[in-house]
Structure formats: structure tokens, C-alpha cells
Amino acid sequence: MELSTEKKPKDRVLLPMSYDVEKLKADCKEIRKHGFEYYNVIPLRAPAHEVDASRPFPPPADDYADGSWTEWLNTSYLENAPYMAQIVKEFQEHTKVTLVRLLRLQAGATVAEHTDPTLGLEIHKSVVRLTIPIYTNDEVTFYLNQTPVPLQAGECWYLRLTDPHKIVNNSSEERINLTIDMIPNDWVRALIEKSETN
């Protein structure tokens, strides 16, 4: 039997950009919500009709996976986070940025293992999610395919989230990640594929 020589993409890729953690934390302080339990999502960029009620609801789509079914707008949270807005704008210069969020996980909480079927570079009509940790520590572990990903604050990662993953926060502090979803194009693919070889 002939074995395939096709290169299988890595499930995790550290990208060649890093961000100022103190500026990210300063933005978080401006927009954070208090009193959340377990898990909290703060939308920084969302479908236009959710941000501006005067915008019409988009027509039904055959496929919602890649985010092209609607226009996307920055929310008031992102407008109050200048450094994060700058990061998003840098990606917008290369591709269409769709959903942008802060994902907060309470101290001592876990996110059960699951998959996200439309968050992989190899999936047709999908988006790519980049993850930038902001608040994290050695007791917060992101498992992908049952092995830890060494996420550090200020780094930017592509994670193949179509694979099984879970998060365990064994610390006494909340974990906050900035996630940026974008439609993959030649620039996005080249960024990830070049980084794989480094």
C-alpha cells in the first residue's frame, strides 16, 4: 500500500507576531464586565444588525460558516479598546475580519472537550480563528488533541479547533483571550503555512 506523502497541517501554529500585554490589559479594564459566572463572552465585532438596530436583518444563507452572509461592525466595546481595535485593523488590511471576542473563563472553571466544525484552515467555507492570550498563567491549560498548547500572554496562535479541545483553569484568577475570526485567503494561508516551518 502506498503511503500518502501529503503534508498534514499542524494542529497548532505560533504566528510571528506578538502584542503588548499591558496595553491589552488596559483595554480589558475599560470594557470588562463584572459579576460574571463561569464563562463570559464580550463581543468586540459582531453582525451589523446586532450592533446597529437600523441595519436590516441579513437574508437567509445557504451556508453560514464563513461569515460572508452578513456585514460585520465593531461594537462599542471595541471602540473603547484602541489597542485591540488597532490589532483588528491590521488584519482587516489583509482579509475580511468577522467575529472578534474576549473570552473570559472564571477561576477554577473548565470548558469541556468539544470541536468547532467550521474553525479549521482545511475546511471549505470556514473561518480561521486566531487566539491572543491576555490574562493567563501556568495553571491555565488549553488542551488540543489531548496535549497542552503553551499559550503565553501577548502571543498569537492559530489553533485547528475542528480538532477536540478543552480548557482547564486551575488558577485563582480569570483567564481572558482575545479571539479574531477571519475569512482565510492566500495571505492568511501563507502566514500560517510559513509559520509552520519555523
Contact call for residues 150 and 191 (beta carbons, < 8 A): no
Dump pLDDT digits (tens) for 151-179: 999 999 999 999 999 999 999 999 999 99
Of all helices (H) and strands (E), which one includes residue 15? strand 12-18
Domain count for the chain, please give it: 1
Residue 126: per-residue pLDDT? 87
How far, in whole angstroms, is CA 86 from its chain's centroid? 16
Q: Is residue 147 in a domain?
A: yes
Better-predicted residue by pLDDT, 136 or 66 = 136
> How many CA atoms within 13 Å lie on the side-chain side of 136?
23
Is 0.75 surpassed by the pTM of this model? Answer: yes
Q: Is residue 62 in a domain?
A: no
Q: Is residue 1 in a domain?
A: no
As given in the structure block, the three cell numbers for residue 72 are: 460585520
Task: Give the pLDDT band of residue 8 (cuts 50, 70, 90).
Answer: low
Q: Is residue 188 in a domain?
A: yes
Please report how the helices 82-92 and 21-31 are oriented relative to each other, as an axis angle in degrees rounded to 10.
Answer: 110
Better-predicted residue by pLDDT, 111 or 34 = 111
- Give the domain extent around 105: 12-32+40-49+68-196
Q: Is residue 2 in a domain?
A: no
The CA distance from 132 to 136, in Å, is 10
Question: Which CATH number is 165's domain given?
Answer: 2.60.120.330
Residue 165: per-residue pLDDT? 97
Contact call for residues 17 and 39 (beta carbons, < 8 A): no
Q: Is residue 152 in a domain?
A: yes
Residue 33: per-residue pLDDT? 65
Residue 2: per-residue pLDDT? 46
Q: Is residue 183 in a domain?
A: yes
Q: Is residue 6 in a domain?
A: no
Provide the percentage of residues in the chain whose pLDDT is more than 70: 89
